[in-house]
Copies of this chain bind each other. A is one copy, B any other.
Amino acid sequence: MAWRRERQTEASLDTARDGRRPTGDDLDYAIVKLLEVDGRKAFSEIAHELNVSEGTIRNRVGRMKEAGVLRIVAIADPAATEYQTSVMLGLKVAQGHTPQQVAARLEKEAFVVYILWVAGRFDLVVEVVCDQQEHLLEFLEAEFHSAEDLAAIEVMPGLRNFKNQFLLKRIWATPKET
């Protein structure tokens, strides 16, 4: 869990009331968990459920949104939504480099929507989504084929997507709100 924050000192709060309430990072986590089910759930309700004040929920959610770790969005029916197919890449990391390093590099690229470190034939499985074919080719050339930290690249063009439980490929484009 990367919900770590700095302060871990709130054990006091925990015992402050009977109905144990989440402390520190767990609070953020608990809030997210509730919001994942219903993104419009009232802060006051959440506050009541977690035994904290409404203001706290508001602050935490605001902070998380600000920090970019949380977004509340509408999702239209996957069956009704069409998303462009992408490219799947199977990468073998070159000697002297680590999957982490490569992942760290690729992570920053907007076209890269998914990076998974795996065991087996590849080291990394990466999905790239791009609107225009030209961009894609340029991108592959620049970031993959001419990369020194890769020993082998296998490009598997996406032909059709049958299922995608996550979607939401590029909605993140407009981060500012209100």
Contacts and interface: CB of A to CB of B under 8 A. Distances in A.
9 contacts: A32-B81, A36-B73, A40-B40, A69-B77, A85-B116, A116-B161, A119-B159, A121-B156, A166-B167
A166 B163 contact: no
B119 A2 contact: no
Contact of A163 (B79, B107, B159, B163): B107
Count copies of this chain in the complex: 2
Interface string A105-146: 011000011111111111011000000000000000000000
Interface residues of A, number: 69
A117 B159 contact: yes
Given A1-B80, A3-B80, A168-B168, A157 B119 contact: yes
